[in-house]
Structure 1
Amino acid sequence: MTGSVDDAVTRAHHEEWARVVATLCKRFGDLDIAEEAAAEAFATAVERWPSDGVPPGPGAWLTTTATRKAIDRIRRESKRDDKQKEAQMLRYDDPDEVGVVEDERLRLIFTCCHPALAPESRVALTLRMVGGLTVAEIARAFLVQETAMGQRITRAKAKIKANRIPYRVPAAEDLPARVSGVLAVLFLVFNEGYLATGAETDPVRGELTAEALRLTRLIRALLPRDGEVAGLLALMLLTEARRAARVSPGGELVTLGEQDRGAWDAGLIAEGHRLIRERLATREAPGRYQILAAINAVHTSARDVRDTDWSQVVALYDQLVRIDKSPIVVLNRAVAVAELDGPEVALAAVDRLSDALDGYHAFHATRADLLRRLGRSAESRSAYDRAIELAGNTAESAYLARRRDQLRA
C-alpha cells in the first residue's frame, strides 16, 4: 500500500505542482505564498494519503489543501485590511486570463520569464517554480554551489516583490522578448530528464523529457518562424530518439559510440532532420540551438559510429564557439577534436579548462578517457575517481567505475 501511495504522491508532484502554484499565484499574487502552500499541501498528502487513501481527484485535493494553507498564512502575516484580504481570497470564480498561451504550465513559464529579471535569475526561478527541480539540481545545471543558487532564487523573488512585477499572462507582442528565457528553461528541464543529476532519482526521467518536448511543440505553434524554437525542438527530438539505447538493462550508461542504433526512434529522427532542413533553406544565421541540433543530425545520420563525419562536427562546434564561448562548449568540441586530430591534441585543449570546470564531472570523465587512450593509466584512474566522486547519476557512475576498473595496473 505504501509503495502505491508513494507513487501517487510522486506522480501528483510531477503533474500538478505547476498547476497548483499557478492557481495560487493568480489568487494571491505572491510567489512565496504559492510555493510554500503547495509544498505544505504535498507534505500533507504524504502524511495523510497512506491512512486515508489516495483521493479520487488528487489535483483538486492538492489545490484545495494548498489554498487553505495560503489563506491561513495570509491571515497570520498580511498587513492589509482584513476585508480586502478576504475579498481577494474569495474571488475563486474569476475566469482565467488565457491570452495567446492556452497551456497553463507554458503560460506560467512565459509569465515568470519577465525581462525585468536577469536572464539567469529568470531561468533559475522558473526551473524551481514550474519545472519542479530542486535547488541542488538547478545549481548543478548552472555549475554553481547550491547555496549560491538558493541566494539567486531568493533575490529574484525579492525583486519581483520590490518592483511589483505582476504575474500577468503575456500578450502576443511580449512573447519574442521572453522566448529565449523560456527556451533556456525547457532545455535545462529536458537535460535533467535525459541524464538526471541526482543520485536518488532514476538515471533517465522520461516525464521531464516528454513535458519539455510537449511545451516546445506548443511554442513552435505559437512562433513558427522563430529559428531557435525550431532548433531546440529538433535538438530535443534527435536526443530523445536515442533514449531507449541510453541505459543498459543492468543500469549502466551506454555512450553514443556504443549504443545500438537500431534501437533509436526513426520517426523522431526523421522529424528532427526535417526541421533542420527547413531552417537551412531559410539561409538565416543559425543560433545556438540550431547548431546543436545540426551536430546531433550528423551523429544520427551515421549508421555506425565509424561513419560519423567528425570534420563536420568540429566545424559546427567552431561555429558554435563563436556565439557561445562557454567552457562546456569548448569541452564538447575537444571530444570531437580527439576523433579528428587525436587524444593528445584534445587533452591539451581540455587541460586549459581546469580552472573553469574542476567541479564538473564530465570534465574529469573526458580527461580520464583521453588519458586512457594515451596509455597514461595512473593519471586516467585518478581522473575517473574524481569524475565518479562528482557524478550524481547512478548509471553514469556505474559506467565510469567499469571503465576505471578496466585500466591496466
Structure 2
Amino acid sequence: MARRVPRRTAGHEVRLPTDAVALMRAELPAVADHVVTTITREVPSYADTFSGRMGENIRNAVQLALGGFLSLASGRRGIDPRTPTGPAVEGAYQLGRGEARSGRTTDALLSAYRIGARESWRQLSSLAVEGGMDAETVGRFAGLVFAYIDELSAASVAGHTDELATTGRVRQRLLERLASQLLTGAPAERVHEAAAKADWVAPSTLTAVLVTQAQVRPALGRLPGSTIVVPEAPGREDDALLLVPDLTGATRTRFLAAVDGRDVTAGPARDWLDVRASYDRALRARTAGLGPDADAFLPQLVLDADPAARADLRAQVLAPLADLRPATAEKLTETLRAWLLHHGRREEVAEALFVHPQTVRYRMGQLRELFGDSLDDPDTVLALTVALA
C-alpha cells in the first residue's frame, strides 16, 4: 500500500475575504471549546488530560493553531506553519514530545487531530458561508484546512519521535555510566545512585556476556529488556558487552543453546555488584577461544590463569628429563601424563597411548630411575599433574 504524502500549505492560493476572516476570528474561542469538548468525548484517553489547567492550556493551543491558520488563509505570512518557528507548528511539535514523555503513542493524538480537523471545518465553513464566501473559495478553503492539520500532525509525530530518541540516548548513556562503575569497582553507594538515576532495578545477579557487534541484536532478542548494553567492551573493541540480569539455571541453559555458534561468550552469574568477576572470566575464556559457556572450561581457565608460572612449574618438575634426547623426553613425558591421569592403571595407559602394556612398563621403569621415590610423593604428583594437565 502506497504511503500517503501529507498535504502542504506552501504555495496555496486561498485568500479569504476580510469580513469572513474577522467573523471567524471573533468565534475562535467558541470553536476551540467545541473542538476540545468533542475530542474529549470521542478519544477516551484524553478525558482526564483535558481537565483543569491542562485543559485550559490545550484550549489556548487549539485557539492559537486556528488563529495561525486564519492568518495563513487571509494572506498574512508572518506566521509560517511550514517551520518549527511558527507558534502553531512549534506548539504541535512540543505536544508530540509531551505525549512521548507521558508514555503514550501517537495513535490518540492523531485521532484527536482528525477529529479537530473535522469539527474545525464544520464550524469555520458555516462561518465562511455566513460571511458571504463563494462556493469555489469554500472548496479551496476546505483543502487548506486539512493541509494545515496535516502539517500540525506531522510536527507532533516529529516531536514524539525526537523525544523518544532523546530519552533513549540519555538513558543509554546513564546505563553505560552504571556499567563503567560496576566494572571499575566504584563504591557501592555510588553504584546504587547510578542505578537509581538510570531508573534501573538491580537484580540478584548479573552475568557478563561478550558478543560480536553483528550478533548484539539476535542475542538481545533472547535476553531481558533490563539487560545493559555496552557498545564496546573494555579491552575488546570488536565486541559488545551485555550485562544480563539473573541469567541462571534453565534460563542460562536455553540462552546458551540458542546462541551456540553465534560467537558469544558468557561468564558466570555473580552478585550484581561483583559483575567484574564475571566479565574477567568471560574475557579470559574469549581470549583463549573458548565458549560459549566459560563455566564449561574451568580446569583450563584455572591452569592458564598464570601461563608463566605454569611454564616454570613444568620446567621444574620435568628437570630429571632435561638431559635426554628430545624425542625420548617427549615419549616419557607423554607416558608420565597418561600414568598420572589414569592413576597408574597400565592397561588404560597403554590404550590411551596406543602402545603395548609392556612398552608402558618399560617406560615407567625409566621414569622411576630418573625421578626416584618422588613419584610416590603426593606433592610431587600434584605438581606433575598440574604441569602436565
Which has the larger share of helix?
A: 1
TM-score by length of 2: 0.22
Decide which structure has greater strand share: 2
* Greater Rg by CA: 2
